[in-house]
Amino acid sequence: MANITWKMEDGSEISADVKDGLNLMEAATANNVPHIEGECGGCLSCATCHVFVAPEWLAKTGEVDDIEDTMLEMTDVEREDNSRLSCQIIASAELDGLVLQVPEPE
Ligand code: FES
């Protein structure tokens, strides 16, 4: 179990306890986090699950593989060094307290 917080640009936050093994796109859509659509269901073909990972958490969320790296070029909001596709981040106790910033398209 991991408590995950999604922060919106207006300063509002949504926090949820997420079961181990669930990816963080699924967790976001289950908790009605705005702007995370997950259109492809998590198969790395839509880039609608883009988040910015708080820098202190980057190492724990794992490496970006080549396919995710390619898909990160297709996000609505331009990628940053701490961009991830949240369907590729899997909840575990290690991520308890993780904070994600949700990009909001103009
Ligand atoms: S849900 Fe489509 S790439 Fe993550």
pTM as predicted: 0.96
Ligand 1: atom nearest CA of 49 is 4
Residue 105 has pLDDT above 90, yes or no: no
Ligand 1: atom nearest CA of 44 is 3
* Domains of the chain and any CATH numbers: 1-62 (3.10.20.30)
26: tokens are: 């699924």
For ligand 1, say whether the CB of 29 is within 6 Å of any of its atoms.
Answer: no
For ligand 1, say whether the CB of 23 is within 6 Å of any of its atoms.
Answer: no
Residues 38-48 pLDDT 10s: 999 999 999 99
Ligand 1: atom nearest CA of 38 is 1
Residue found under tokens 């794992």:
62
Nearest Cα residue to 69 out of 91, 47, 54 = 47
State the DSSP string of 11-64.
S-EEEEEE-TT-BHHHHHHHTT-TT---TTSSSSSS-TTEEEE-GGGTGGG---
Q: How far is the CA of 75 from the centre of ligand 1 (A)?
A: 10
Percent of the chain with pLDDT over 70: 100
Residues 66-76 pLDDT 10s: 999 999 999 99
Residues 67-102 pLDDT 10s: 999 999 999 999 999 999 999 999 999 999 999 999
For ligand 1, say whether the CB of 95 is within 6 Å of any of its atoms.
Answer: no
Q: Give the residue-averaged pLDDT of 22-44.
A: 97
